[in-house]
Amino acid sequence: MLKLILDRMTAVAIANTIYKVHIGASRYIPVNKENEVLIHDTLSSGKLAHFTGRRWAQFVMEIHDIDLDVKQAMILKPINFKVHIGGNWHVTVSEKVPVIDIHCWYVPNDNTLQPTPVGIAQSYTQWFNLTLSLLWHTHPPY
């Protein structure tokens, strides 16, 4: 059922795409008419992060803090960063695994927050491509 919902969300978001940004390898960020944004891996159908307009705005507001923690993690300083960006979505950074993890989380019966399989992990290179793309699209050089 979850895969069906993801496939439908992806199809709707991509069908209404007004522009798409390539952030490396098979990763793209399509933006649709309703200001919904996906971070989407075209080679792996289940790997995506879906942002409503409001969630995307919250994510963009957190980019500076996420970026600071990524830089600390890159030099192996202890980091255990997690930020809530809306709905059940969180962004995490840790020096133990060199990725920026954007996943949907849930609370099982034992009341501990757990990640679901729904989401995507960005490598440091993909993260820097994403931040540079956002900078370029919000402040174009022309």
Q: What CATH number corresponds to the domain at position 129?
A: 2.30.31
- 21-27 contacts, C-beta under 8 A, 24 or more apart: 21/133, 21/137, 23/122, 23/126, 23/129, 23/130, 23/133, 24/123, 24/125, 24/126, 24/129, 25/126, 27/122, 27/126
**pLDDT reading at 138 higher than 60:** no
Binned at pLDDT 50, 70 and 90, residue 19 comes out as: confident
Global confidence as pTM: 0.81
Task: Cite the DSSP H helix spans in the chain.
Answer: 2-15, 53-74, 124-138
Task: Cite the DSSP H helix spans in 16-97.
Answer: 53-74
Q: What domain count does the chain have?
A: 1
Q: Show the tokens assigned to 1.
A: 């059922």
Spatial separation of the C-alpha atoms in residues 70 and 50, rounded to whole Å: 21
Spatial separation of the C-alpha atoms in residues 74 and 76, rounded to whole Å: 5
Residue type, 67: D
Q: Please give the residue range of the domain that contains residue 39.
A: 2-138
In the predicted model, what is the mean pLDDT of residues 25-49?
A: 80
Spatial separation of the C-alpha atoms in residues 104 and 50, rounded to whole Å: 9
pLDDT score recorded for residue 47: 84
Per-residue pLDDT reduced to its tens digit, 71-130: 999 998 998 899 999 999 999 998 888 999 999 999 888 888 888 888 999 988 889 888
